[in-house]
């Protein structure tokens, strides 16, 4: 076999393998993407419930303002504040963004945070909490503070910006589980 025929066959085989490979990728990609995509949190399926002393609607329901002892719930997420503004999309009338103002307090399970202003972006499952001079978040005794905190709800992660300070207490599992050990107390005498 001459070199030209061999190179030509090699190129055809390479093209066929490439086409088969690309077909496999295109066929299996949607199922792989479904398996690997992060699970949407249960808060996506939960309704947004808000209670307050007063409420007013503007622009045909595009902007709704709640004021006075505002409490909002969406799944296990609770946000309280003095004022809460809900912004709905013009086309679908679904909630795009919620802005909490004044004495903002956020709880989700054991995690808590407080600040002056929080912006909840529904599509991104993100809360941006700011405070003057700082916003604070804590879980049990551990605490972190900074000027801006970004909570990524569906990933259960957060980022803190602008002069971060953190306190993490060591876990004393023996004392917490069993209480003070009597033998440890007698050894200290």
Are 90 and 157 members of one domain? yes
Rounded Cα gap, residues 135 and 149, in angstroms: 7
Are 60 and 78 members of one domain? yes
Band of residue 173 on the pLDDT scale cut at 50, 70, 90: low
165 vs 19, more confident: 165
- pLDDT tens per residue across span 51-92: 999 999 998 889 999 999 999 998 888 999 999 999 998 888
Are 100 and 163 members of one domain? yes
Distance of CA 114 to the CA centre of its chain: 16
Are 15 and 85 members of one domain? no
Closest CA to 79 of 38, 51, 46, 42: 51
**Omega before residue 104 within 30° of 0, cis:** no
Instruction: Give the pLDDT confidence score for residue 169 in this predicted structure.
Output: 87
Distance of CA 113 to the CA centre of its chain: 13
Asked if 64 and 88 touch (Cβ cutoff 8 Å), the reply is yes
Residue 160 has which token pair? Answer: 């803190």
* Domain at 152, CATH number: 2.60.450.10
Residue 11 lies in a domain: yes
Instruction: Give the pLDDT confidence score for residue 7 in this predicted structure.
Output: 58
Instruction: Give the pLDDT confidence score for residue 157 in this predicted structure.
Output: 86
Rg (Cα) of the chain, in Å, rounded? 27
Residue 71 lies in a domain: yes
Asked if 125 and 154 touch (Cβ cutoff 8 Å), the reply is yes
Band of residue 117 on the pLDDT scale cut at 50, 70, 90: very high
Rounded Cα gap, residues 141 and 171, in angstroms: 10
- pLDDT tens per residue across span 7-49: 555 555 555 544 444 444 444 434 333 333 344 445 457 888 9
Please state, rounded to an integer, the average pLDDT across all residues of the chain: 76
User: What's the total number of domains in the chain?
Assistant: 2
Instruction: Give the pLDDT confidence score for residue 188 in this predicted structure.
Output: 42
Domain extent at residue 26: 1-37
Distance of CA 121 to the CA centre of its chain: 10
Place of tokens 């709704």: 64
Closest CA to 99 of 69, 125, 129: 129
Torsion of CA 96, 60, 75, 144, to 10 degrees: 50
Are 64 and 10 members of one domain? no
Are 31 and 111 members of one domain? no
């Amino acid at each position: 076999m001459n070199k030209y025929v061999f190179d030509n066959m090699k190129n055809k085989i390479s093209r066929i393998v490439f086409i088969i490979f690309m077909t496999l990728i295109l066929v299996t990609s949607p199922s792989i993407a479904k398996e690997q995509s992060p699970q949407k949190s249960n808060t996506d399926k939960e309704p947004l419930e808000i209670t307050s002393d007063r409420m007013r609607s503007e622009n045909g329901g595009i902007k709704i303002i709640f004021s006075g002892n505002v409490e909002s719930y969406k799944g296990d997420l609770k946000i309280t504040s003095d004022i809460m503004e809900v912004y709905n999309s013009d086309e679908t009338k679904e909630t795009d963004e919620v802005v909490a103002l004044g004495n903002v307090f956020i709880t989700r399970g054991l995690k808590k945070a407080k600040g002056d202003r929080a912006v909840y972006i529904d599509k991104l499952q993100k809360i941006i909490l700011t405070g003057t001079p700082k916003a604070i978040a804590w879980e049990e005794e551990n605490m972190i503070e900074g000027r801006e905190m970004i909570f990524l709800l569906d990933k259960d992660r957060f980022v803190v910006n602008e002069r971060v300070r953190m306190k993490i207490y060591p876990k004393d599992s023996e004392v917490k589980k069993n209480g003070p050990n009597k033998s440890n107390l007698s050894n200290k005498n």
